[in-house]
């Protein structure tokens, strides 16, 4: 009987190295005991007879197995190491096994990996930092109780997301600390080691209450996505029972309320969101850019326009749609008879992406990952503004709004439904019109653009 001792519950490298050696010796899964640290081993285990088959040569495994193993290792199932080794052992003789989702072993490991990915998502979504003053300055501390061994695997996300902050994440198993330069580990902690609250929570509660839409409340779906076990560590969830109780009355009030009678809380929440975006580090574009360029316009706007990204002038001014494309947009809006002051304008990507050529900064198209990283801000703006109609100006904006590639030529000129149920239209970006070399074509396309704006103007009345 072989006993393999791993250093940590999430020790993928240790498991992989041990599994390679065992496979090279053709050791059957039933002859291996996996343990972590000082876990007790079965004292009555016996040494298995030598394997009848000779040790096989090296063999490669599908990439899908590596991805599955990296996730499943983080699970809390005590048999996960043995299950993965069994799958690896079988893959040598059944190379297509990983593709058989009906196989009980594959299905069980898939379920473990799925639970791990869900736990990782929940940690990113529901972890809440609280501000603590220390001798060295401000530190943000959070308490979280994951179901699986995901803390180390999730550390890079929080380093990238909160790179400019000093923070600590405390969990029962392990604690991680970021000082702005290096990530360190510490022992597990208890909830009493974390602070109970801080003044910034009141701002967050105001923001949460303002984006809570009673017309879209689905209690079952909400509890599935945000189980009650997370509520005790989230300041905004103290508001949920009251918000749910008042949902029906609020929905009736929303129907009767005039669109131009917005409450002060919406503006406060928008300002809080804008201030948070100013420190955004969700993708590397923040590094060369001058600043975040957030959306602009009335917080009760019935019409929202989403462009691609700030240009050179927007990056310097810190305001959207003030460059040449923005000036053409304003001109077209006026010709279409749409009141520009009733529109909220923003961009799918909040930082200027460019290539430096001498002293000039030349616009560069955002990559898919950069668009997706910034999508969270668009979703928050939509929830806060609650526009009647949203217009995507160009393919980048359309991808941000719909979460997938959209073809302008095919989708232009008709009402579409956003994932949240809202109405959306797609047209070209004004910068496209500026790039057309043929004057006749430019005039024709500009006229089409004006007509698109006129159409959405009629949709809002």
pLDDT, residue 83, reads 98
- Percent of the chain predicted with pLDDT > 70: 80
Burial class (CB in 10 A: 0-12, 13-18, 19+), 260: exposed
Fold of 278-460: Uracil-DNA Glycosylase, subunit E (3.40.470)
pLDDT, residue 162, reads 86
Across the range 391-419, mean pLDDT stands at 94
In the chain, CATH 3.40.470.10 sits at 278-460
Length of the chain: 461
Rounded Cα gap, residues 98 and 110, in angstroms: 10
Across the range 397-407, mean pLDDT stands at 94
For residue 186, give the 3-state DSSP assignment.
strand
Answer whether residue 305 shows pLDDT above 90.
yes
- For residue 461, what are the contacts with CB-CB under 8 A and spacing of at least 6? 302
| pLDDT mean across residues, the chain | 84
User: Tokens in use for 339?
Assistant: 């009141």
DSSP assigned state of 167: E
- Decide the pairing of beta strands 354-357 and 183-187: unpaired
pLDDT tens-digit map of 59-115: 789 999 999 999 999 999 999 999 999 999 999 999 999 999 899 999 999 999 999
pLDDT, residue 410, reads 93
Q: Of 43-52, 201-210, 275-284, which one has max mean pLDDT?
A: 275-284
Contact (CB, 8 A) for 87 and 104: no
Residue 397 CB coordination number (10 Å): 28
Instruction: Categorize the per-residue pLDDT at 258 as very low, low, confident or very high, splitting at 50, 70 and 90.
Output: very low
Rounded Cα gap, residues 376 and 382, in angstroms: 10
Answer whether residue 202 shows pLDDT above 60.
no
pLDDT, residue 31, reads 95
pLDDT, residue 364, reads 95
CA end-to-end span of the chain, whole Å? 77
pLDDT, residue 319, reads 94
Answer whether residue 233 shows pLDDT above 70.
no
Q: Among 202-206, 383-387, 405-409, 418-422, where is mean pLDDT lowest?
A: 202-206
- Give 123 or 221, the one with higher predicted confidence: 123
Answer whether residue 237 shows pLDDT above 70.
no
Instruction: Categorize the per-residue pLDDT at 19 as very low, low, confident or very high, splitting at 50, 70 and 90.
Output: very high
Answer whether residue 150 shows pLDDT above 90.
yes
Answer whether residue 227 shows pLDDT above 80.
no
From the CA atom positions of the chain, what is the Rg in Å? 27
Answer whether residue 208 shows pLDDT above 60.
no
Across the range 46-67, mean pLDDT stands at 61
Q: Among 18-27, 207-216, 253-262, where is mean pLDDT lowest?
A: 253-262
Rounded Cα gap, residues 132 and 167, in angstroms: 9
Q: E strands, 62-158, where?
A: 130-134, 137-143
Residue 207 CB coordination number (10 Å): 23
pLDDT, residue 259, reads 36
Across the range 405-412, mean pLDDT stands at 93
CA 246, 251, 252: angle at the middle one, nearest 5?
Answer: 105
Across the range 240-251, mean pLDDT stands at 55
What single string gives the DSSP state of each residue in 45-56?
A: --PPPPPSSPPP
Across the range 357-378, mean pLDDT stands at 92
pLDDT, residue 140, reads 86
pLDDT, residue 141, reads 87
Instruction: Categorize the per-residue pLDDT at 260 as very low, low, confident or very high, splitting at 50, 70 and 90.
Output: very low
Contact (CB, 8 A) for 166 and 181: no
pLDDT, residue 253, reads 52
Rounded Cα gap, residues 390 and 412, in angstroms: 13
User: Tokens in use for 57?
Assistant: 């040569």
Rounded Cα gap, residues 124 and 78, in angstroms: 24
For residue 241, give the 3-state DSSP assignment.
helix
pLDDT, residue 58, reads 60
Instruction: Categorize the per-residue pLDDT at 47 as very low, low, confident or very high, splitting at 50, 70 and 90.
Output: very low
Answer whether residue 42 shows pLDDT above 90.
no
Rounded Cα gap, residues 169 and 166, in angstroms: 11
User: Tokens in use for 17?
Assistant: 């190295």
pLDDT, residue 272, reads 85
- Give 181 or 204, the one with higher predicted confidence: 181
**φ and ψ of 343, to 5 deg:** -105, 145
């Amino acid at each position: 009987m072989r006993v393999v001792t791993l250093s940590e519950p999430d020790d993928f490298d240790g498991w992989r190295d041990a599994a390679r050696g065992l496979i090279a010796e053709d050791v059957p899964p039933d002859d291996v005991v996996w343990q972590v640290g000082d876990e007790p081993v079965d004292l009555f285990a016996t040494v298995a007879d030598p394997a009848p088959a000779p040790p096989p040569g090296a063999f490669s495994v599908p990439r899908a197995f590596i991805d599955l193993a990296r996730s499943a290792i983080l699970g809390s199932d005590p048999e996960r190491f043995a299950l993965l080794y069994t799958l690896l052992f079988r893959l040598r003789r059944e190379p297509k096994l990983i593709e058989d989702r009906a196989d009980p072993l594959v299905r069980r490991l898939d379920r473990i990996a799925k639970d791990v990915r869900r736990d990782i998502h929940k940690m990113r979504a529901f972890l809440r930092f609280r501000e603590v003053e220390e001798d060295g300055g401000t530190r943000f501390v959070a308490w979280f109780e994951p179901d699986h061994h995901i803390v180390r695997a999730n550390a890079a996300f929080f380093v990238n997301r909160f790179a400019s902050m000093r923070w600590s994440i405390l969990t029962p198993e392990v604690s991680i600390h970021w000082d702005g330069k290096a990530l360190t580990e510490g022992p597990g902690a208890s909830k009493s080691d974390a602070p109970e609250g801080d003044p910034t929570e009141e701002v967050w509660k105001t923001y949460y209450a303002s984006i809570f839409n009673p017309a879209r409340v689905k209690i079952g779906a909400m509890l599935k996505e945000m189980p009650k076990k997370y509520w005790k560590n989230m300041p905004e969830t103290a508001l949920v029972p009251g918000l749910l109780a008042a949902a029906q009355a609020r929905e009736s009030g929303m129907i009767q309320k005039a669109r131009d009678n917005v409450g002060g809380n919406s503006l406060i929440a928008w300002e809080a969101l804008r201030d948070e975006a100013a420190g955004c580090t969700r993708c590397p574009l923040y590094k060369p850019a001058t600043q975040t360029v957030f959306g602009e316009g009335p917080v009760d706007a019935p019409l929202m326009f989403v462009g691609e990204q700030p240009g050179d002038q927007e990056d310097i001014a810190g305001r959207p749609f003030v460059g040449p494309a923005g000036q053409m947009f304003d001109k077209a809006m006026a010709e279409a008879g749409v009141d520009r002051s009733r529109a909220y304008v923003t961009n799918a990507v909040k930082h200027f992406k460019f290539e430096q050529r001498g002293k000039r900064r030349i616009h560069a198209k955002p990559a898919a990952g950069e668009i997706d990283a910034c999508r969270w801000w668009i979703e928050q703006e939509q929830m806060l503004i609650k526009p009647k109609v949203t217009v995507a100006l160009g393919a980048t904006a359309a991808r941000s709004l719909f979460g997938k590639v959209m073809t302008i030529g095919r989708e232009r000129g008709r009402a579409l439904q956003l994932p949240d149920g809202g109405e959306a239209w797609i047209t070209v970006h004004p910068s496209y019109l500026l790039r057309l070399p043929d004057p006749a074509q430019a005039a024709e396309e500009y006229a089409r653009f004006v007509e698109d704006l006129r159409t959405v103007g009629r949709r809002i009345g």
